[in-house]
Chains A and B, each alone.
Chain A
Amino acid sequence: MEPKILEAKSIFKSFHTPITIPVLKDINFSINRGDFVSITGKSGCGKSTLLYILSTMDTDYEGDLLIDGISMRGKKEGELAKVRNEKIGFVFQFHYLLNEFSVIKNVMLPGLKLAAMSDKEVEARAYEKLKMLGIENEALKLPNQLSGGQKQRVAIARALINDPLIIMGDEPTGNLDKKNGEIVFNVFKELAEVYHQSLLIVTHDNEFAARTHRIIEMEDGKIIN
């Protein structure tokens, strides 16, 4: 039995503007090391909201969240930032790269922030990740000189730089065409199967979801499956 790396314990969340609407109701589930999990559900059912809570960026909720067995409740903003830096890799629907920095520097930034290795080693690792994703030749370009699929692979490389416990993605293929979506999916699959990387991916694409190890289906703020 692989250890639990992420556990949601009866998470509730409501938005209060303009009126109080409960968005998440009693969310309970856990993810073990090496799991490749997808979250699906209708638009507006609360998938993104849940993912922001799980990634520690949103702290306004009830219930508890354990990452690596440690409760995230009551942690300070700086401590949560450290958790995100060390343990979570995030891939967004829109690529969200820093246009002021080259591709390689974008990938390196979280590693430099963690400062577990020297700058040289971080750079070497960043190259390794880019190579793994087949875009090492783009390393010195600026992000706005890349195609959408390439950008998303850079974002994945960035998410991988600190060897996170888990990679989270909010519709990472949602903005890509079929071919590029396929490439990104294959990257995830390889990460899960070859490197035993845990992944939690929100998706609309049922075909995509069907090919993951486990599907969490949501409806109206609840997990139904």
Chain B
Amino acid sequence: MNIKLLASVSKSLLLARWKQTLVAAVGVTFSITMFITLLGFMAGLNTMLDNLILNRTPHIHLYNEIEPSKNQPISRATEFKDNYNFISSIKPKNERQEIYNSSAIYEALLKDDRVLGVAPKVMAQVFYNVGSIDLTGVINGIDVEAENRLFKFSDYITSGQFIDLKNIPNSIILGKGAAEKMMANIGDVIQVTTTKGERIPLKVVGYFQSGIQEIDKVQSYASIVTTQKLLGESNNYITDLQVRLKDLAMAPMMAKEYHQLFEIEAVDIQTANSQFETGSSIRTLISYAVGITLLIVAGFGIYNILNMMIYEKMDSIAILKATGFSGKDVHKIFIAIALSIGIFGGILGLLFGFGLSAIIDQVPFNTASLPTVKTYPIDYNPKFYLIGGIFSIVTTYFAGYFPSKKASKIDPVVIIRGK
């Protein structure tokens, strides 16, 4: 009953000054629109940039590090036990790249519930032969299907079919940069030399572009079998196991576990790419800071307009109080005005923000380094809309609080005497 009455009083006061209240609401609308658009855009870019790395990076990477033996002969000598020993006479051996017992580890990983999939890989250092020049390169021997399923391999193939790697024997997909240097077209046969000195012809079936030029100049892909043949190794020679997890957050813990269990190097994605996470979180922080600043500015607008309204409505407030409205009622009336501005402006802001995001989403965005992206990326995360909505209400509440307090404290005697 009382609420209905106070609401109707608020409404009349608000409508009597609808132009000013509209300006205040437009302020809120503008800031919420920008808030939503900015966050959606930033988050979209973040996801895109992160995916550039994350899609291609295993959550846990298992490999055999070439390390000097920790157990050097000198440390076994009892007479030097308490000394610092820096003589290392045993050097690392070449064959250590291979993961021992790789098929057993592979089976064990596949049985782990937390694991989404495993893609084995054979890395081979090679030279691409271009006329009389040799370019250094790396051939990744991959399980073509697993690689595509887990790491979206096909997204990065700009020409050719990724499955040809599996179907055509002795085939290779060249990094775009490497292919340009070699002037190799699809269907051409190129020559590569292994570190052991063997020269092998491979047929180009496609180009690969990761978006990171340094990689594209060096890396190429072939099937595991082709690479093993290239290296002259048996078919259980595997140098890397790339694990993709169901939950990315588990990676650091599981990496440690695997390191212990398999006695092998295990690097989690967080450690390998910590700079990306820092970048994303700082970009997000900046967007929030800008959005919230806009809202606070809008809040000051509401504060001003309410103050002005209260100044103009002194007489009305005095009459309301003289006829039996309490300070609390007056407070509620003005808070209701502030909140209606906030809610109305906020809802419009959310709608416009969505609209503007949708427009930006259509704007073409072509860049050579990002073959999969055609338009500006936008993240329509409902979280942003929720935060924007809550924030518009909270700021308008606080902007309205002090003027309303002031209105509720107005002494009717002073006003009536002042006439």
Contact = CB atoms under 8 A, between A and B. Distances in A.
Nearest to A60: B413
A15 to B, nearest CB: 11
B326 A78 contact: yes
A90 interface: yes
A101 B12 contact: yes
Nearest to B12: A100
Given A92-B416, A115-B1, A86 B316 contact: no
Nearest to B1: A115
Given A57-B412, A77-B326, A101-B12, A96 B319 contact: yes
Contact of B318 (A96, A100, A101): A96
Contacts of B320: 98, 109
A81 B324 contact: yes
Interface string B1-24: 110010001001101100000000
B417 interface: yes
B321 A81 contact: yes
Given A98-B316, A98-B319, A101-B12, A110 B324 contact: yes
Contacts of A96: 315, 318-319, 322, 416
Interface string A110-153: 10111100000000000000000000000000000000000000
Given A48-B417, A94-B419, A115-B1, A82 B315 contact: no
Contacts of B15: 100
Contact of B327 (A78, A94, A114): A78
Contacts of A98: 12, 316, 319-320
Contacts of A114: 324
A48 B419 CA distance: 13
Nearest to B322: A90
A158 interface: yes
A58 interface: yes
Contact of B324 (A48, A99, A100, A113): A113
Nearest to A108: B5
Contact of A90 (B2, B316, B323, B326): B323
B374 interface: no
Contacts of B329: 81, 113
B322 A112 contact: no
Interface in B159-204: none
B326 A82 contact: yes
Contacts of A94: 419
A55 B316 contact: no
Interface in B384-419: 411-413, 416-417, 419
Given A93-B419, A96-B318, A115-B1, A85 B327 contact: no
A112 B413 contact: no
B373 to A, nearest CB: 55
Given A100-B12, A100-B16, A100-B316, A113 B322 contact: no
The interface centre, meaning the residue of B9, B321, B328, B416 with most chain A CB atoms within 10 A of its CB, is: B416
B325 interface: yes
A81 B332 CA distance: 15
In order of increasing CB-CB distance, the 6 nearest A-B pairs are A85-B324, A81-B326, A78-B326, A100-B12, A100-B16, A110-B323
Interface of B: 1-2, 5, 9, 12-13, 15-16, 315-316, 318-329, 411-413, 416-417, 419
18 contacts: A48-B417, A52-B416, A77-B327, A78-B327, A78-B328, A81-B324, A81-B326, A84-B322, A84-B323, A85-B325, A96-B319, A97-B319, A98-B319, A100-B13, A109-B323, A110-B323, A113-B2, A170-B416
Given A57-B413, A113-B5, A113-B323, 13 more contacts: A52-B417, A57-B411, A81-B324, A82-B326, A84-B323, A96-B416, A100-B12, A100-B316, A109-B5, A113-B324, A113-B329, A115-B2, A158-B323
Interface of A: 48, 52, 55, 57-58, 77-78, 81-82, 84-86, 90, 92-94, 96-101, 109-110, 112-115, 158, 170
